[in-house]
Structure 1
Amino acid sequence: MPYCRRRAETIRGFTLIEVLMALTIFSLIVVIAYGALATSGDGFRMLKDVRDKLEQSGWIGRQLRADMDALAWPQAGSFSAAAPVYVRKPPVAMTHDNRGSSEFDQLWLLVAEPGQAGISEVHYYIDESKYHLIRESRLLWARNGVEPVRWDMGEAHSCAVEAMGLDGQWQPEWKSINPFVWPKALRIRISTQVDGSNSREWLLPLLYGRPL
């Protein structure tokens, strides 16, 4: 049967070389696909990090502006020695701590917070145990031992605070007390990276606050 013999001769398996070539091509496709997926995953993670930092900085900016809008100021003569301690505190105070590439400035504000039956002392600083920006709030006339309300405002490796004086110059400290003189504005710069990159800056004009 010549037809059956010819048909049997045409039916054969793959040679070893063909199998090796197929495996090689398949391996290359897997490597390329994996690399593309890994790159895509890294891109998604980078986008998420950027989005999270933008949301964090937006939250910080909104809170700073809210505190500035609710500043309180001492009445005339309230810095006298006979006045209670809580009204002898200035409505704006700051300390400067420059450590080369990073700054750990601190800011204190007297704020009439919504929902509070009095004036709160608000304190911004970096918690160096975890490098996060912290906002603490405590009523001025709260009893000793009362813990402040703490808000963790996210990662921060540097916090620089400056006040604009009456001469228009930026100053790293503001300790005007008797009599208190309002700075024209505050400039706050916060960086979420150790090298100082990825920083955000806010320029906050100051208006006279409400009396205590």
Structure 2
Amino acid sequence: MARRCLNNRADEVGFTLIEVLMALTVFALISSLAYGALDIAGNGFERLAEVRSAQEKSGWAGKQLRSDLRYVTAAPHRTAVKTDTQAVADRIVPIRIQNDNRGSVEFDQLWLLVRESGQQAISQVHYYIDETNGHLMRESRLLLTRERVEPVRWDFGEISSWAVEIWDRDGNHRQDWDFSSQNFVWPKAVAVTMKTGAGSSSERQRFWLLPVLVGSQL
């Protein structure tokens, strides 16, 4: 009798096949949900990092624009006999823009004459969108340097639109500002609107209104 009870208990030890399959199914379901949650969280962190990087780069662009406009200047005036290179330099105006409106986006260009820190001569600075990769670029080259000398390039990252306007002395908005050196008029301010991530949930817009201190011939 005692031996029979022991045999019955031995038969009851362990799990049935159905119980094992149910346990595996539940484990697989929990694992799938956990992986999906981690994947979503990982993508969220990556997207957050991308947005933060774009905001930082746009902030750098704004700071550099503000610095360039603070030190914008006219080409140096020389009374001595001018070389061909100097004559060309004298025809370059301190501020020039070129409007390129393409519907909802703009690919404007901005040229400035800037007395950059650490440079012994005036630099010509050029802001534009590189259409090969959609990045905002800043190129800087000394005014009288040879054309074969490569400019210093700064990359402010990918953007969707770059719009530049001039506020004239009467406060009117102008999308054209391209004078000859004899007729150049100093504007009151330069307004820049930059868009990133156009058409997506992360679309952002930055706006800078940068005053221009009236310059004079050096």
Q: Does TM-score exceed 0.5, indicating one fold?
A: yes
CA distance in 2, matches of 1:17, 1:210: 90
> Which of the residues 127, 132, 135 maps onto 2:135?
132
Instruction: Look up the match of 1:64.
Output: 65
CA distance in 2, matches of 1:123, 1:107: 6
Amino acid at match of 2:123: S
Question: Any gaps of 5 or more consecutive residues in structure 1?
Answer: none
Question: In the alignment, is residue 205 of structure 1 matched against residue 215 of structure 2?
Answer: no
The worse-fitting range, judged by mean Cα deviation, of 132-141 and 10-19 is 10-19
Question: In the alignment, is residue 158 of structure 1 matched against residue 161 of structure 2?
Answer: yes
Question: In the alignment, is residue 192 of structure 1 matched against residue 196 of structure 2?
Answer: yes
CA distance in 2, matches of 1:200, 1:26: 48
Instruction: Look up the match of 2:144.
Output: 141
Aligned positions of 1:70-149 closer than 5 A:
70-74=71-75, 84-149=87-152
Q: Residues 7 and 208 from structure 1, CA distance in 2 versus in 1: closer, same or farther, beyond 3 angstroms?
A: farther
Figure out how many residues of one structure are paired with residues of the other and give that number. Answer: 209
CA distance in 1, matches of 2:184, 2:78: 10
SS in 2 for 1:130: coil
Q: Is the 8 A contact 2:77 2:217 kept in 1?
A: no
Q: Is the 8 A contact 1:73 1:208 kept in 2?
A: no
CA distance in 2, matches of 1:101, 1:67: 27
SS in 2 for 1:151: strand
CA distance in 1, matches of 2:212, 2:62: 15
The worse-fitting range, judged by mean Cα deviation, of 129-138 and 83-92 is 83-92
Deviations 1:78-111 (A, max 9, x none): 9xx9972212211000000001121110000000
Q: Is the 8 A contact 1:101 1:195 kept in 2?
A: no
SS in 1 for 2:144: coil
Amino acid at match of 1:184: K
SS in 2 for 1:73: coil
- Percentage of matched positions with identical amino acids: 51
Report deviation, 1:77: 10
Report deviation, 1:160: 0.5
Root-mean-square deviation (CA, aligned residues, Å) is: 2.3
Amino acid at match of 1:188: V
Q: Residues 124 and 202 from structure 1, CA distance in 2 versus in 1: closer, same or farther, beyond 3 angstroms?
A: same
CA distance in 2, matches of 1:23, 1:38: 22
> Which of the residues 174, 177, 185 maps onto 2:177?
174
With normalisation by structure 2, the TM-score equals 0.87
Instruction: Look up the match of 1:19.
Output: 20
CA distance in 1, matches of 2:160, 2:25: 49
Question: In the alignment, is residue 32 of structure 1 matched against residue 38 of structure 2?
Answer: no
CA distance in 1, matches of 2:43, 2:151: 40
Amino acid at match of 1:199: Q
CA distance in 2, matches of 1:159, 1:40: 32
